[in-house]
Amino acid sequence: MKHFIDLADLSHSELISLLDLADMLKSDLKQHKAVPILAGKTLGMIFAKSSTRTRVSFEVGMYQLGGHALFLSTQDIQIGRGETISDTAAVLSRMLDGIMIRTFAHQDVLDLARFGSIPVINGLTDLMHPCQALADLQTIRENFGRLDGLKMAYLGDGNNMAHSLAQAGALAGMHVSIATPPGYSCSTQLITAAAEVALTQGGSVTTGTDAAAAASQADVIYTDTWISMGQEAEKEQRKTIFTPYQVNQDMMEIASPDAIFLHCLPAYRGLEVTAGVIDGPASRIFDQAENRLHAQKAILATVMGSA
């Protein structure tokens, strides 16, 4: 693995290796074992979008692996004033050992990898959120002891989170069922590709508009905010359209009796999920948040450890 940009770039064995490494690094941390495998290395973190979990987990992760993380806001570096991605990639490649970028356009990540000579990690784009999906799989596997054969239902906006969950679940051999309102569906091309991968692993990826059908007997119920960054002007319209997709106790009762609830955060109680669910016994949201640290350390160790 030279870069970590798109889960579709991984094989099943590479995915499982990352998860196994994440589990090992988590165990080492709990036992206070030092793992300085990135000693002397520096990660540049480019942020075009604000962040809590992404910034803290990558910065702390690099520190725990013996390296250093450098925060680079697009308001502070020249890329925010029009310097090209190609020039930025070339310059940073002379000074850093790796780049993590959290941005809007997915093409920016691809161009950084194309024009640079160091590993690039996709911290989030409008199209995908692969780091979060990897941490989600780690969380699910911790709860059920496996991934293959489990059903994961995603309810809400067909956004970057839905895309990466479809890819992750497909690679893991899960049955992913996505329910979105008409007009807010996922990328047809991406879902078709994920469904083809799922077939090779004994899983499936399906989409539709019926939230209850997607949630039926699901082992995992997942949702995300209805109003992502940049969509604030659509808030009232989206609240009306997405209300049937709210994860509430009635929705959880349709799922498997042992179902868990996941949300990538930040969450808005009373909108996409009720307080009774997100703060209830089925919720694993803070396990998810913690696992961002461990999953991303596995990514960092894999792509930067041999860089």
User: Any idea which residues carry the catalytic annotation?
Assistant: 102, 129, 132, 224, 264, 292
| pLDDT tens string 191-234 | 999 999 999 999 999 999 999 999 999 999 999 999 876 777 88
Domain spans of the chain?
A: 7-129+292-304, 132-288
State both tokens at 257: 């009796």
Entry field: residues in the chain: 307
Give the residue ranges of the chain where pLDDT is below 50. Answer: 307
Closest to 153 measured CA to CA, from 177, 170, 132: 177
Cβ atoms of 148 and 172 within 8 Å: the answer is: yes
Rounded to whole angstroms, the Cα distance separating 224 from 140 reads 17
The strands making up 42-47's β-sheet, listed across from edge to edge, are: 68-73, 42-47, 98-102, 120-124
Give the number of other Cβ atoms within 10 Å of residue 62's Cβ. 25
The yes-or-no answer to whether 7-129+292-304 and 132-288 have a common fold is yes
User: Is domain 132-288 annotated with CATH 3.40.50.1370?
Assistant: yes
Q: Which fold has domain 7-129+292-304?
A: Rossmann fold (3.40.50)
Cα distances (Å, whole numbers) of residue 207 to 8, 153, 156, 184, 294:
18, 10, 11, 11, 30
* pLDDT for the residue 68: 98
* pLDDT for the residue 231: 75
pTM to 2 decimal places: 0.97
